[in-house]
């Protein structure tokens, strides 16, 4: 069956279901970050946790995700087996790890371990969801991934909204945030298996992945350009997301307000993802990614001035940053998927994710620890290093778009 045939025969429900599943399946991502004030308060009498606990807990999930993506890529899991069933199995496992983290949150080492395991199984949700979308929508992938990663953004931000409800006098305990996101994650896996059919051309296990196919990530000029842009973007993205509550806390006194605005800033990224996808037909994926990458880099550099700006301008700056810091991500994935060897799209995307998240884990550790000893105005501009290097890497694809 041709790619065109696959694209035209995709049932109408397929994209909405994948989008919804991505939203629900990634909801455990920032569960700990959202309830960090509650966890810190609960452990204050026992000597408390280190000031850098949020960085370490965030990095543990990132490192687990890196390990998971490496295992999935080297085993060609998403290309050799049913991506739908891999998604379901990992959604159930991530939910179980989230519940275990809630049950054992009194132990800092145990919480670190369960968050790392959660990250490992999230590797079977985020990149595998992109693989499923690539199977059904090989044409117009930039627009499809715009919706898909937009859902991931809202899903990742949802824990902040749940925590805001808990902090608004509703009587909801912080443990309910973990239980809720675990249930949402299971529903995501069930929805994919129940309502997304297996593409006819994807039936049957594929042969073991050739290492040369993964090597396209650095040997193929086009794949290398899109991956390089993505790596620069990843230096900035998750570090900003981890720091958003701290940035808002410099201007907002109530914890509920900080949580609500954290949700708004993170979820605003869905506008960048979806809006960028709608512009792909006119501008091309490389140009859409470059504009958003440059804008988010400018937001980094403007931080020393806008941190002290009037409240309206301060919040508008953060929302713009939230929109553009992730709006380029779908286009980097679409470019990589379009240029990777067809038999290894899932594994190349997964390996690219693995390297990108390794970069993000390093950035979180370096920058969050630097904030603890320095200040936000001094540290935030350094996030612009990623967008600058990403734009340099992306130049070959921008030149091709102009021709």
Q: Which of 47-56, 87-96, 122-131 is predicted least confidently? A: 47-56
Q: What is the pLDDT of residues 198-252, one digit of tens each?
A: 876 554 444 555 566 677 777 788 888 999 999 999 999 999 999 999 999 999 9
Number of domains in the chain: 1
Least confident of 143-157, 220-234, 333-347: 333-347
pLDDT at 67: 92
Taking 50 as the threshold, does the pLDDT of residue 18 lie above it?
yes
Residue 38 pLDDT exceeds 90: no
Q: Does any domain span residue 77? A: yes
Residue 396 inside a domain? The answer is yes
Average confidence (pLDDT) over 69-83: 80
Q: What CATH number should be reported for the domain holding residue 371?
A: 1.20.1250.20
pLDDT, tens only, 96-118: 999 999 999 888 889 999 999 99
Tell me the mean pLDDT in the region 72-99.
88
Q: Look at residue 341 and tell me if it is in a domain.
A: yes
Average pLDDT, the chain: 85
pTM above 0.75, yes or no: yes
Looking at residues 164-192, what average pLDDT do you find?
83
Domain containing 299 equals 11-200+213-402
pLDDT band at 274 (very low <50, low <70, confident <90, very high): very high
Residue 6 lies in a domain: no
Residue 3 lies in a domain: no
**Tokens 């039936």 belong to residue:** 203
Classify residue 57: in a domain, yes or no. yes
- For residue 321, being part of any structural domain is answered with yes
354 vs 68: CA distance, rounded Å: 8
The answer to whether position 2 is within a domain reads no
């Amino acid at each position: 069956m041709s790619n065109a045939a696959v694209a035209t025969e995709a049932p109408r429900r397929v994209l909405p279901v994948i989008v919804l599943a991505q939203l629900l399946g990634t909801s455990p991502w920032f569960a700990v970050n959202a309830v960090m004030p509650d966890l810190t308060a609960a452990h204050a009498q026992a000597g408390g946790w280190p000031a850098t606990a949020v960085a370490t807990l965030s990095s543990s999930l990132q490192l687990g995700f890196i390990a998971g993506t490496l295992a999935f890529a080297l085993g060609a899991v998403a290309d050799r087996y049913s991506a739908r069933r891999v998604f379901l199995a990992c959604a159930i496992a991530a939910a179980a790890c989230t519940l275990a983290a809630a049950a054992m949150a009194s132990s800092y080492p145990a919480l670190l371990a369960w968050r790392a395991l959660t990250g490992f199984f999230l590797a079977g949700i985020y990149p595998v969801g992109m693989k499923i979308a690539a199977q059904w929508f090989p044409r117009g992938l930039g627009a499809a991934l715009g919706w898909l990663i937009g859902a991931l953004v809202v899903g990742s931000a949802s824990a902040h909204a749940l925590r805001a409800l808990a902090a608004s006098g509703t009587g909801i305990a912080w443990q309910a945030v973990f239980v809720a996101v675990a249930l949402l994650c299971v529903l995501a896996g069930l929805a994919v298996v129940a309502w997304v059919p297996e593409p006819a051309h994807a039936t049957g296990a594929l042969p073991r992945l050739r290492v040369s196919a993964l090597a396209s990530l650095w040997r193929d000029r086009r794949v290398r350009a899109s991956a390089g842009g993505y790596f620069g973007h990843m230096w900035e993205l998750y570090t900003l997301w981890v720091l958003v509550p701290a940035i808002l806390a410099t201007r907002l006194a109530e914890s509920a307000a900080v949580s609500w605005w954290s949700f708004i800033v993170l979820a605003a990224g869905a506008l960048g993802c979806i809006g960028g996808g709608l512009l792909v037909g006119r501008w091309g994926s490389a140009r859409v990614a470059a504009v958003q990458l440059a804008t988010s880099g400018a937001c980094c550099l403007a931080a020393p001035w806008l941190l002290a700006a009037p409240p309206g301008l301060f919040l508008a700056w953060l929302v713009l940053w939230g929109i553009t810091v992730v709006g380029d991500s779908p286009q980097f994935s679409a470019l990589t998927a379009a240029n990777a060897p067809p038999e290894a799209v899932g594994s190349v995307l997964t390996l690219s994710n693995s390297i990108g998240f390794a970069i993000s884990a390093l950035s979180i550790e370096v920058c969050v620890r630097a904030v603890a000893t320095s200040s936000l105005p001094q540290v935030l501009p350094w996030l612009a290093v990623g967008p600058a290097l990403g734009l340099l890497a992306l130049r070959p694809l921008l030149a091709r778009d102009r021709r």
